[in-house]
Structure 1
Amino acid sequence: MTRLVRILLAFSAFALAAPGAARAMGAGDKEVARVVAFGGSCAKCELSGRKLSGARFMGADFSGASLVGADLRDAKFMGSAFTGSDLSGADLSDAQIFGADFTRATLSNAKLQDVEAKGASFREATLNGVNASDLSGVGSIFERASLRNARFSDANLPGVMMVRADGRDSDFSDANLEDSNLSGSRFDGANFRDADLRRATLTGASFVGADFRDTDLRGAMLSGADFSRARHLTQEQIDKACADASTRLPSGLVARGCRGVRVMVRVREAAEAPPAPPAPPAPPANPRHLVAVDIP
């Protein structure tokens, strides 16, 4: 079978042949595995249902692109933009997402199991019904995201930003959410069984009917949060958190301030700021084409 280098033109009929791709054009009688790499601009591209397992998106612009139901297992998203893109029902299992931007993207019912997402942005994204169990999202942003009926069980989400998110009926059982910020969000009916919410900020959030069986709330800030009708919440959990008179609790539970919570403030002397580095040169304009390369 001929080893193929495919060049998909997105906006103009322009052929591009890279040196590495040229080496992949030799004839052979064995089928080789493909590694598909995308770069440049492919805004509003139509790639729904495509088989893109193992693809690499390196600094690419896929804003507004359609990848509905696409197979993106084990794909790598490095510094790429998917703003406003549609990945509904796509399979991103085992993918790596580093510094990628999915602001206002739609990932409803997508599969994100075992995804590694560091510093990724899902601001105002729609992730309703997504399966993100065992996802690692250290420092990722879900501000104002819709996470209704989403599954984040066993997810590792320390320090995540979920401010003003809608996580009603979502599942965070056994998830690590320590030092996260969930303030102003709605998690009514959500499952936080055995979750780690140590030092998390829950101020002004709503947890009506949520399940907190064996949830670790040590040092969590609960001011203004609504836990009315929360299930399996105990006085011991509240005593180890930081609640106040504005915290709404189930009948029989009492907010007793920040008992057992230590607040440490470190003051450092201001150091002289180093000189600012010179501004980097402007990058060249992205080519108006999409490159896919088969690498043996």
Structure 2
Amino acid sequence: MTPPAVGGAPIGRPSDWAELLRLPAGLTVPGDALTGASATGGTPHRRTWLAAAASLCLYHAGMALNDYADRDQDAGERPERPLPSGRVSPGTALTASGTLAAAGLLLAARAGRPALLVAGTLTVTAGAYDLGLKHHALGPAVMATARALDLLLGAAATDPVSFRRALAPAAALGAHTWAVTAVSRQEAGDGASAGPPTGALLTSCAIGLGLGLAGRSVRGRRRGRRTAGPVLAAATAVYLATAVPPLIRAAAAPAPANSRRAVASGIRAVIPLQAALCARSGSATAALALLTLAPIARHLAERGDLT
């Protein structure tokens, strides 16, 4: 069947857009704002949720822009994707990206000037990555910066005064993103090596160790926060169980298929990592809420491409 079109340009079906925007991966995004809010010691409120909505818009804007920028490369390596297959036109994808980015910035503006400043920096960083820096040696660092900024967006919207408290969680999330992005460079083509997945494996283990050590201080806090200790332990275990096994396989047998599996698992591992970081900040409720998303993300990942 011919895809729906306007003026001769294919606009795609809902399933095409779900694939283009990586909708299942969107489940990993609202937790950034919640983690940032928890890090400030504040309670999520209206501006926090506005920041979460802004993050979702900016994330999916980046996904559309990524496929627009990679359409020629994908034509050779992944011709089944929406743009090279002709199901969605490049112009339509670019328009969608711009519209989503504008919506994200408007929502961030409603969350306050500090949130808008962070969101604007995030938009520029993600756009620079999509439009060229992804192919540069600094690509993983740029993507890590974008993800860290997304967490800081939630902190800035919730409590700008306590913004700095979110720097450590943002660094942990950024390190995880850096490692996963480095592995993603081996998803297509030849020349996969054990180096990136080994580095990502060490990074994940280091993050897990840091969270484990943080659990001791959480258990020693006042009674109202002691329940966060067991939740932190559980979330850390889920994080390691999600991220580590595929990385071991990718390091032991370097191949594009194994790299793709490791990247998909690394994306899903963001959710339990966010939960662990919330628990580290003493917010057991937020952590438990995020953990409920982990099985949903796994189910949706089996029905669509995350990478």
- For the superposition of Structure 1 and Structure 2, which TM-score range results when normalised by the shorter chain? under 0.3
* Higher Cα Rg, which structure: 1
Tell me: higher relative CO, structure 1 or 2? Use CA pairs within 8 A at least 6 residues apart.
2
More helix by share: 2
More strand by share: 1
* TM-score of the superposed pair, with normalisation by structure 2: 0.19
